[in-house]
Amino acid sequence: MTPLMTPPMAPPMAQPQTLRWRMPLLIRISIVLHAAMLVTIVVNPHAWAWVLSAIAANHLVITLVGMLPRSTWLGVNFTRLPAAAVARREIALTIDDGPDPQVTPQVLDLLDRYEVKATFFCIGDNAERYPELCKDIAARGHSVQNHGQRHPHYFALLGMGGLAREIQSGQDTLTRIAGQRPMFFRAPSGLRNPFLDPVLARLGLRLAAWSRRGYDTCTPDAATVRRRLLRDMKAGSILLVHDGNCAHTAAGVAVVLEVLPAVIDAARDAGLRFVTLAAALSSNQLATECRSA
């Protein structure tokens, strides 16, 4: 009698590891400013108008910084690959807002055809609607990362509790469906506030932005999107396109499908190699080099 074969056990999923959080200089300056203004108003109550103006100006600066997706003033922001990846002539393609039942399968087939691995920042709600698509992304060797559970447009207005719930929910959903725990988080539209960095550190996530984006959610002209992505593209670049919420050409074709072949060809002509964000660096590099990116 042939003995029954026991299927191999899947390796245990890595547990989240809390990252060390360092308060950004801008936030430390803001705290000192608020303390100084409090002392000022106690010592000289007649200076209230000046004090309020100074505090309002400080909050305006923080708000404006939070509206700059590639800024590092509110904390670590991964906008390009680390030095070791640059030396290896690596580049990262990141794809946001999916999975989408119409566009994502075509994107996956295109990437298979070109033998390119990408990083998909998926929305938790979309992954729950189309779990097989999310699983297929991972099964084809791509990386599934966290773009929030609901991708709310008011994300940057959430407090620490709201941010934690939105990100943790997305983390749980994508881990359960894709079978891989996300290591990176991308803020909706790249907008954020001072509470985001400590929340991400507690959840063991790194904030990932981009080097170049094509604005392919609002630009239906593929040539324009392609030109934006290729401008100053070089080793270490992180490119951003969308498979969800993407614009369509006049012929009804998703812009991302028109753009990717030319971008991939241009990168290869320049001697660049596509990798996922996770594959671009080791765990030691994640802990050190991404803080200086």
State the catalytic residues.
96, 242
Which residues pair with residue 248 across a beta bridge? Answer: 254
* Cα separation, 225 vs 223, whole angstroms: 5
Q: Distance between CA atoms of 12 and 39, rounded to whole angstroms?
A: 54
Residue in this structure with the two tokens 């505090």, named with its chain if needed: 55
What are 136's two structure tokens?
A: 């297929």
Residue where the block lists tokens 């207005």 = 157
What distance in Å separates the CA atoms of residue 257 and residue 214, rounded to the nearest whole number? Answer: 13
23 is written with which tokens? 């308060």
Residue 207: exposed, middle, or buried by beta-carbon count in 10 A (0-12, 13-18, 19+)?
Answer: buried
Alpha-carbon distances of 193 from 169, 172, 212, rounded to whole Å:
19, 23, 22
**How far apart, in whole angstroms, are the C-alpha atoms of residue 146 and residue 197?**
15
Rounded Cα–Cα distance for residues 222 and 158 (Å):
34
